[in-house]
Structure 1
Amino acid sequence: MANAVVRQVLRRPVRLVPLAFLAVILVGTALLSLPPMHHDGQVRPLVAAFTAVSATCITGLTVVDTATYWTPMGQGVILLLTQMGGFGIMSIATLLAILVKGYIELSDTLTVQTETQAQDLGQARRIVVRIATSMFAAEVVAALLLVPRFHYSHGLPWPQALWHGVWYACMSFTNAGFSLHSDSIMSFVLDPVVVVLMTFSVWAGSLGYPVFWELLKKWRRPGQWTVHTRLTFYGFMALFLVTFTAFLVFEWDNPDTVGPMAVGQKVTAALAGGVMPRSCGFNIVDYAGIKDETIITTIVMMFIGGGSAGTSGGIKVSTFFLLFFLIVATARGEADVTVAHRRIGDETIRQAVTIALIAVACVVGGTMILALLTDLPLTHVLFDVTSAFGTVGLSMGVTPELPAGGQLTLMLLMFLGRVGTFTAASALALRTAARHYHLPEERPIVG
């Protein structure tokens, strides 16, 4: 009975999530349309709307140069939108991920000592406060490390170094990827300290709050980690090693990317190339010049994304590896899907399959639309479409060249990628119900 009551209460908030994000986007569009927000003073509603969607959905795709087009006031609005988008998706997704079970397992997922019923709104508020505190603390620490580096190593005056430090700390943790430099972070390839700090901040934000908090509390006791934390953390490590190695090997002698660099710079670029495609739009090299092998690897990683209840997009690491274990179990002829000596429920597997297929449909549909609207190379179109849906923000230079219809398509994909899959996953979990009867079984031919 308690579970049914909780699910009934939560269904309406789930439906309201897209409306809440849409409201923030509309307000952001109105603000960014004001003449003081951009240097030329001309009102470009589509540019303002595209930027507002990209910022609120913490994507980072742009149709104008953030460093030169927007005034400091406009950049401040973009920063505020990314903070609202990042905090909103982390807090809402975390609460729903916990509450769809019918109770809050704080002892397992948030390492608090007692279990509290979902009807305890005070505990829910404490979780939101803890998310805000963790997000603020992570960004402050990153900023404190970046500000002196920008001042002493890059010669920026203290006020400018402070602005750059705060900006890149926030954009890294929220995985937004907007840059105050026209070449994104390519100018920092000679500074491994800045690249490592920003990469680690991106990684921390994309893990997801439940995993981030559990690792913080139980990092010495991995045997006590939940299945979700194990899937996310070990999955992150595996995918990072694959992407890092692939980037380094494929681009090693590419004259358009890391070919002319020293060995240390190549490793630094590969480090960023192994993390940024997961969810953040910072690029350490010009992605218009990467090899086809790297394009394929990056597209796959952008599609997978990062951790649930975090600032990353994609179908999520846990979803991807649940599907992997499903394939393994099916190949072995096993009836159950098991991870870390735990059986995964059939409803969870169905949700993972559904989310993955919805994502495939969105990416394929978006690619077909842009292919019809433009004469751009298919790989370039697929790359930017996947980046938009995965709320990554990396681009091969296609986005600014798109006609209005193409930009509107990417805006829709960013919105669906940030809010749509999350809402669909929550709705599927909330709709789960046990039937008290079974229909006659029949097996169609598969394969």
Structure 2
Amino acid sequence: MRAARPGQFIVGAFVATILLGTLLLMLPVARTGAPGWPTGVEPPVLGPAIGRGAPLSVALFTATSATSVTGLIVVDTATYWSGFGQAVLLVLMQIGGLGTMTIAALVAIVIARRLGLHQRSLTAAATGELHLGDVRLVIVRIATLAVLAQAVGTALMALRFLVLGQDPGTAVFHALFLAISAFNNAGFAPYTDSLIGYGADAAIILPVSALIILGGLGFPVLIELRRRFRMPRRYSLNTRLVLVGTALLLAGGWLAMAVLEWRNPDTLGGRPLGTKLLLSWFASVSPRTAGFNSVDIAGQYDVTWLVTDLLMFVGGGPAGTAGGIKVTTALVIAYIVVTEIRGERAVNALGRRLSRSVHRQALTVAALSALAVLIVTMGLMILTPADLDRSLFEAVSAFATVGLSTGITAELPGAAQGLIIVLMFIGRLGPVTVAAALALSRRTKLYEYPKDRPLIG
């Protein structure tokens, strides 16, 4: 029997995690019994329910959103799900953020103290590691970095919640929930209004921002930063591209959000200067696939939605918790365009020449991603009364595993929910598995067709 490729195993493990999460969320113990939203509104539901548990459609949508670390919701996380249900979401977010293959490899290391060759190859494909011999060390470092970052974030936010008057148990749980959700770029929050209630509180917004950025850099970058902290000149091209691209997007997004929304009475207008800067900063950080919001997204201007669409579509760094086409993909395409405009032959980036296989991979990932977003956007416009702006925003948010919404998610009919579920799935695994397949399945043809040159443009 022919062995399955790493991409197939990764997809299979991802599907299995979603199905198990769906089953657990359907259990009556996972639900409080409250309506979908505090206002009493119930979302459109499909499928059976186990007793008084969540219906199949609600559980499947939520499990997919948590495992794909997206954050789109059809029911209120704070009131609909019980403590058990929220704990299930925490586990799904952690598995989705670190990766099913990474978690499986970590369990094998703890229990068996070793990894087989096949499991090393699967984990290497999932984490972006090129050397199979280093996989075990990489897995341990990923787990250590994740636990350390989330622990520090939990401690900082728990102290703040205690100062604000929350009881110790609630303060620690809410801080832990936010830390796991932020580092894994999931966007789930234990509050009905996401982080709007803490939008002006730097002691909450800044730790959440830091965790989002760290998780969004990608594990290869985090590991290299840790290993070569004192030798920045020796950073790999991938690390330098991610750091440069992240800085440009954060700064550009911060400036754009501040300028566009400065006088908007529904978002930044009428706020103190410091609060405006903090809110616009977070509005730039969160679309990098995190999905928290500290202002009402529905109250933003249409042009701000478009800027957010661009930030979401690019996303963060590869082989991490972020979604989107990735910063490296966007920069490679930008370098290709600049090279073509200049009439040069070789595509160079930060002192290195990019191989032609990288050109093809970047263009393929971007093209397939744009096609997926376009198809779902059209589907939402057909199935719902939402206009182009809202439909595009919802589709990009789902594909980029962000979780921001203009407010239409909970009202989507069953067929539209199905489209979003598929897009969240593709967004989390699609570009990664496509890039891995292109890298792992190189076939050499014994012949070539005659060369020709069609007219372009």
* TM-score of the two chains, using structure 2 as the length reference: 0.89
Q: 1:214 to 1:256 in 2, by over 3 A?
A: same
Matched, 1:283 2:276: no
User: Which runs of structure 2 are paired with 1:101-120 in the superposition (5 Å)?
Assistant: 104=131, 118=132, 120=133
SS of equivalent residue, structure 1 residue 183: coil
Pairing 1:246–2:275 present:
no
Do 2:78 and 2:192's aligned partners in 1 also have CA atoms closer than 8 Å?
Answer: yes
The question of 1:20 aligning with 2:13 is answered yes
Give 1:386 deviation, angstroms. 0.4
Is contact 1:94–1:210 with CA below 8 Å preserved after alignment? no
Identity fraction in percent = 41
Q: Is residue 173–residue 205 contact of structure 1 (8 Å, CA) maintained in 2?
A: yes
Residue 64 of structure 2 corresponds to 53
| CA distance in 1: counterparts of 2:101 and 2:245, whole angstroms | 20
The alignment partner of 1:60 has SS state of: coil
Residue 125 of structure 2 corresponds to residue 96 of structure 1: yes
What is aligned with 1:128? Answer: 139
Instruction: Point out the more displaced range, 125-134 or 19-28.
Output: 125-134
8 A Cα contact 1:90 1:310, kept in partner: no
Tell me the amino acid that sits aligned with residue 218 of structure 2.
Answer: G
Give CA deviations for 1:172-220 in whole Å, capped at 9, x if unaligned: 1001110111110011122112101100110000100111122233334
How has the CA–CA distance of structure 1 residues 163 and 200 changed in structure 2, closer, same or farther, with 3 Å as cutoff? same
1:378 deviation in Å? 1.4
Q: Does 1:229 align with 2:258?
A: no
Instruction: Specify the alignment match of 1:405 in structure 2.
Output: 415
Q: In the alignment, is residue 151 of structure 1 matched against residue 162 of structure 2?
A: yes
In structure 2, distance between residues paired with 1:180 and 1:247: 25
Over the aligned positions, Cα root-mean-square deviation in angstroms equals: 1.7
Quote the residue 2:402 is aligned against: 392
Q: CA deviation at 1:98?
A: 7.4
Question: Contact 1:94–1:209 at 8 Å: present in 2 too?
Answer: no
Residue correspondences, number: 420
Distance in 1, Cα, partners of 2:262 & 2:32: 40
Q: Tell me whether 78-87 or 125-134 shows the greater mean CA deviation.
A: 125-134
User: Deviation of residue 126 (structure 1)?
Assistant: 2.3
Whether contact under 8 Å (2:123, 2:135) holds in the other structure is: no
Q: Is the 8 A contact 1:59 1:392 kept in 2?
A: yes
Partners of 1:318 and 1:231 lie apart in 2 by 6
Of 317, 336, 344, which aligns to 1:334? Answer: 344
In structure 2, stretches of 5+ residues that fail to align are 34-51, 104-121
Equivalent in 185, 188, 194 of residue 184 of structure 1: 194
Distance 1:260 1:68 in 2: 31
User: CA contact under 8 A between 2:29 and 2:53: conserved in structure 1?
Assistant: no
8 Å contact from structure 1 (residues 37, 74) kept in 2: yes
- Match of 1:239, SS? helix
Instruction: Say if 1:62 and 1:400, in contact at 8 Å, map to a contact too.
Output: yes
Range that drifts further, 33-42 or 89-98: 89-98
TM-score of the pair, normalised by structure 1: 0.91
Q: Tell me which amino acid in the other structure corresponds to 2:386.
A: L
Q: Matches of residues 31-430 of structure 1 in structure 2 within 5 Å?
A: 31-40=24-33, 41-88=52-99, 91=102, 95-96=124-125, 104=131, 118=132, 120=133, 123-152=134-163, 154-430=164-440
Runs of 5+ unmatched residues, structure 1 = 1-7, 105-117
Task: Report deviation, 1:433.
Answer: 4.0
The one-letter code matched in structure 1 to 2:85 is G
SS state at 1:142 partner: helix
What amino acid sits opposite 2:6 in the alignment?
A: P
1:107-130 CA-to-partner distances (Å, cap 9, x unmatched) read xxxxxxxxxxx3x4xx32222122
The question of whether the paired residues in 2 share the 8 Å contact of 1:89 and 1:310 is answered with: no
Secondary structure of 2:353's counterpart equals strand
1:434 offset after TM fit, Å? 4.7
